[in-house]
């Protein structure tokens, strides 16, 4: 049975965490899920709601204070690295995967084994705003000095478009690469944590791909218009 490893970071996420887990369980009903939640000292019912699921495959790491999203990412990636997990999906507490999400990625990871894709270190999904799902939040390209949104101007690698950055939520990361590059930058408390790390991947010769069939809803607002 295919194993999918999922890292969720929470902070006062009681309004969304039950829906997130239910979406994961529905999408992963034919697979083995290993879910780790790193909680940044929530003061609401987030942890209590997680414990109500009584899942053997759901582990909670509780921090004594809000250390920021980057440190939580690194804690989760270190946890999975110690389990020899090859790929880890990161999700924010308000991201919801589509029902066919893991079946799409099963095909992706099978395809990666059949082609010379050793330099692929991240694969982003296709996020849309939860509140305005007609507005996509597509990944970015890099022009040498800034990220810009132009998903149509892409090359293809291993059957998928090559991009330079995207939001971390809904992105699969190659665990060993994240650890070897020193993880996410922890002095970036929230903003630009994902883009800084993706730029590091790019400058070190790694590639990020975009799986447009893997859909998630995310509470992003209306930052991008196409």
pTM, full prediction? 0.93
- Write out the chain's pLDDT in tens, 226 residues: 789 999 999 999 999 999 999 999 999 999 999 999 999 999 999 999 999 999 999 999 999 999 999 999 999 999 999 999 999 999 999 999 999 999 999 999 999 988 789 999 999 999 887 666 555 577 888 988 888 886 666 789 999 999 999 999 999 999 999 999 999 999 987 778 999 999 999 999 999 999 999 999 987 544 443 3
Q: Is the separation of the CB atoms in 173 and 121 below 8 Å?
A: yes
Task: Give the DSSP letter of residue 131.
Answer: S
Q: Are strands 141-142 and 95-97 parallel, antiparallel or unpaired?
A: unpaired
Dihedral sign for Cα 120, 202, 204, 198, please: negative
Residue carrying structure tokens 């010769």: 205
Which structure tokens are listed for 169?
């939520």
3-state class of 210 per DSSP? strand
* Spatial separation of the C-alpha atoms in residues 200 and 180, rounded to whole Å: 12
Tell me how far CA of residue 72 lies from CA of 75, 105, 202, in angstroms. Answer: 5, 24, 22
Closest CA to 109 of 159, 153, 61, 66: 159
Backbone angles phi, psi at 191, to 5 degrees: -65, 135
Q: Are strands 147-148 and 3-10 parallel, antiparallel or unpaired?
A: unpaired
Neighbours of 104 (CB within 10 A): 18
Q: Is the separation of the CB atoms in 213 and 126 below 8 Å?
A: yes
pLDDT of residue 15: 96
Closest CA to 154 of 213, 208, 215, 223: 208
Q: Is the separation of the CB atoms in 30 and 52 below 8 Å?
A: no
**Helices 193-203 and 69-82: angle between axes, nearest 10 degrees:** 50
pLDDT of residue 211: 96
* Spatial separation of the C-alpha atoms in residues 69 and 127, rounded to whole Å: 19
Terminal Cα-to-Cα distance of the chain (whole angstroms): 39
pLDDT of residue 150: 67
């Amino acid at each position: 049975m295919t194993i999918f490893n999922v890292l969720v970071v929470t902070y006062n996420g009681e309004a969304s965490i039950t829906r997130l887990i239910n979406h994961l369980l529905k999408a992963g009903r034919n697979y083995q899920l290993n879910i780790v939640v790193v909680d940044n000292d929530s003061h609401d019912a987030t942890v209590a709601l997680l414990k109500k699921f009584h899942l053997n495959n759901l582990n909670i790491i509780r921090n004594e204070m809000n250390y920021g999203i980057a440190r939580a990412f690194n804690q989760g990636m270190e946890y999975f690295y110690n389990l020899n997990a090859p790929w880890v999906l990161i999700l924010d507490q308000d991201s919801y995967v589509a029902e066919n999400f893991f079946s799409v990625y099963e095909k992706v990871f099978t395809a990666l084994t059949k082609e010379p894709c050793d330099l692929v270190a991240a694969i982003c999904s296709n996020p849309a705003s939860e509140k305005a799902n007609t507005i996509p939040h597509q990944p970015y390209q890099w022009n040498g000095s800034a990220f810009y949104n132009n998903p149509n101007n892409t090359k293809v690698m291993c059957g998928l478009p090559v991009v330079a950055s995207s939001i971390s939520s809904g992105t699969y990361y190659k665990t060993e690469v994240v650890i070897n590059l020193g993880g996410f930058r922890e002095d970036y408390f929230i903003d630009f944590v994902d883009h800084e790390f993706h730029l590091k991947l790019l400058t070190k010769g790694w590639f990020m791909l975009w799986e447009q069939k893997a859909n998630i809803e995310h509470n992003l607002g209306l930052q991008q218009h196409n």
